A = this chain, B = another copy of it.
Amino acid sequence: MSNKTESITDVLDHIDRNLDSSVERLADFLRIPSVSTDPAHDEDTTRCARFAAGMLEEIGFDAKVVETDGHPMVLARCDGPDPDSPRVLYYGHYDVQPPDPIELWDHEAFDPVVVEGEQGRRIVARGAVDDKGQVMTIVEALRAWHEVRGGPPCAITVMLEGEEESGSPSLEPFLESHKDELAADVCIVSDTGMWDIRTPAITTMLRGMVYVEVTLHGPSSDLHSGMYGGAVTNPINELTRLLGMIHDDEGRVRFDGFYDDVVETTPEMKAQWESLGFDEKSFLGMIGLERGQGEAGRSTLERTWSRPTCDINGIIGGYTGDGAKTVIASHAKAKLSCRLVANQDPDRIRESIQSFFRDNVHPDCRVEFEDHGCNPAISVPTDSHWLASASSALKDVFGVDALLIGTGGSIPAVGSIQSILGIDSLLIGFGLDDDNVHAPNEKFELTCLQNGIRSHAAILDAFVTKPG
């Protein structure tokens, strides 16, 4: 441990000694199947909010579960040692992705297990890292401050959302109606990744997203392909024809105006990314691939950090059981999402997606859209004293500099917190690329959990002892 963390040796030691208890509390959190997109789990999701509020009450917070039009919000506050203490707002989410495809999990998705992996012990369950494990890096850091010092070194507000995985429809109304209670000097979000297991990172660029579901309706009922095949519109033929048109031969997205507002990556930025020593072969090899696929002439980091994309996330139509059925389906549907970069207007892109389908579809097919939310890309200021303090604390904990990186994912809350509360966020997370986020066997390395807790404890100390 370096000199700079000597002042909180007691807190950090407490964290290390109590890691097993932290893991047990995380496992309890993970046992609640808080799948926000599935109405069958509505009760679980509410139960999960109460569980999270209970954890915060236990460590000296005034915590409450606030009803919204969707899943409830957890809001907890505690004051600092004196009235002049800065106030830190933490944002995280207690909801998780659906566990599908269930059959590919080695264990039950909601019955967490700790197993030995190549990098030590890891906890495996849906939500292990996204975002319950990361939320626990914050909660357990606050617990250590509470148990060792009687409370954190500054004022704290914790806000945990239950709709992050389903488009955050209630977040902005909640921010608007709780502006006073949420006022803070800086926000910290733990929902991103490290550079690798030894190197911490602060994420300063986040892509935005537009998520649309499109359904094509053709014949009024399913038809026999023998009687009708070749003479009438087949909604699956038609849907795949349209989806197949989305990318051109260079891997560019063809929605009208899609690239109009995209800012070209600067040569300086590209040079900086080159210097990161990104291992593309290992990045792809980890997921069983060799070449990558995307916009021609762009590197993998550029493709995922600073270029907009379109992925079809799901598709279904016709007969999908075993064997053969010679049917022409009456309808077919696909879910698709575009990752957006700085300056792209999500509403305009959504309009363009809808026009693409409306303008190109055969007149015997009717197009229907369901909107699953959208949010713009985010750039976080890199010159704040908060970021400088946090970087310094991360270096103390890890012994190496924290890298400033981009990420392909979206955290809509960051944009809303900026625009509604006027608070900039620091995106400091402890996930790894191989954590199987949104996939079967999602996991969180216990090393990452432990270093995450230590980091959050040290960052709070740095905010009050080394402000900028």
Does A438 touch B at the CB level, under 8 Å? yes
Q: Beyond the given A38-B321, A209-B326, A227-B304, please list 20 additional residue pairs across the A-B interface where CB-CB is below 8 A.
A: A37-B321, A37-B324, A37-B325, A100-B319, A104-B221, A193-B227, A211-B326, A219-B287, A224-B438, A225-B309, A230-B311, A233-B289, A237-B243, A240-B244, A244-B244, A290-B364, A293-B364, A314-B319, A315-B316, A315-B320
The segment out of A25-33, A60-68, A395-403, A406-414 that lies at the interface is: A406-414
Interface string of A431-455 (1 = CB under 8 A from B): 0010011111100000000000000
Write out the residue numbers on chain B whose beta carbons fall within 8 Å of the beta carbon of A364. Answer: 289-293
Q: How far is the CA of A167 from the CA of B300 in the complex (A)?
A: 45
Give residues of chain A (382-409) contacting chain B, Cβ–Cβ below 8 Å: 407-409
Closest to A130 in B: B224
Decide: B323 and A236 in contact? CB cutoff 8 A: no
* Interface CB pairs A-B, < 8 A, 22: A37-B324, A104-B221, A213-B324, A220-B288, A223-B287, A224-B409, A225-B438, A227-B433, A228-B287, A230-B303, A230-B309, A230-B339, A231-B292, A231-B303, A231-B408, A236-B314, A240-B244, A241-B244, A313-B319, A319-B335, A324-B337, A327-B439
Write out the residue numbers on chain B whose beta carbons fall within 8 Å of the beta carbon of A11. Answer: none
Write out the residue numbers on chain B whose beta carbons fall within 8 Å of the beta carbon of A117. Answer: none
Closest to A436 in B: B221
Write out the residue numbers on chain B whose beta carbons fall within 8 Å of the beta carbon of A230. Answer: 294-295, 303-304, 307-309, 311, 339, 408
Write out the residue numbers on chain B whose beta carbons fall within 8 Å of the beta carbon of A166. Answer: 323-324
Q: How far is the CA of A304 from the CA of B328 in the complex (A)?
A: 13
Give residues of chain A (326-340) contacting chain B, Cβ–Cβ below 8 Å: 326-329, 332, 334-335, 337, 339
Decide: A363 and B290 in contact? CB cutoff 8 A: yes
Report the minimum CB–CB distance from A239 to chain B (whole Å). 8
Decide: B313 and A439 in contact? CB cutoff 8 A: no
Write out the residue numbers on chain B whose beta carbons fall within 8 Å of the beta carbon of A37. Answer: 321-325
Q: How far is the CA of A183 from the CA of B162 in the complex (A)?
A: 71
Does A254 touch B at the CB level, under 8 Å? no
Decide: A228 and B408 in contact? CB cutoff 8 A: yes
Does A81 touch B at the CB level, under 8 Å? no
Which A residues lie at the B interface, using CB under 8 A?
Answer: 37-39, 97-98, 100-101, 104, 165-167, 193, 207, 209, 211, 213, 218-234, 236-247, 284, 287-295, 300, 303-304, 307-329, 332, 334-335, 337, 339, 362-364, 372-373, 407-410, 433, 436-441
Q: How far is the CA of A228 from the CA of B436 in the complex (A)?
A: 11
Decide: A312 and B237 in contact? CB cutoff 8 A: yes
Closest to A299 in B: B231
Q: How far is the CA of A237 from the CA of B245 in the complex (A)?
A: 10
Closest to A363 in B: B291
Q: How far is the CA of A237 from the CA of B246 in the complex (A)?
A: 9
Write out the residue numbers on chain B whose beta carbons fall within 8 Å of the beta carbon of A239. Answer: 240
Decide: A438 and B287 in contact? CB cutoff 8 A: no
Decide: A323 and B287 in contact? CB cutoff 8 A: no
Write out the residue numbers on chain B whose beta carbons fall within 8 Å of the beta carbon of A244. Answer: 240-245
Decide: A227 and B313 in contact? CB cutoff 8 A: no
Q: How far is the CA of A314 from the CA of B243 in the complex (A)?
A: 15
Decide: A293 and B439 in contact? CB cutoff 8 A: no
Cβ 8 A contact of A227, one of B291, B318, B437? B437
Report the minimum CB–CB distance from A103 to chain B (whole Å). 12
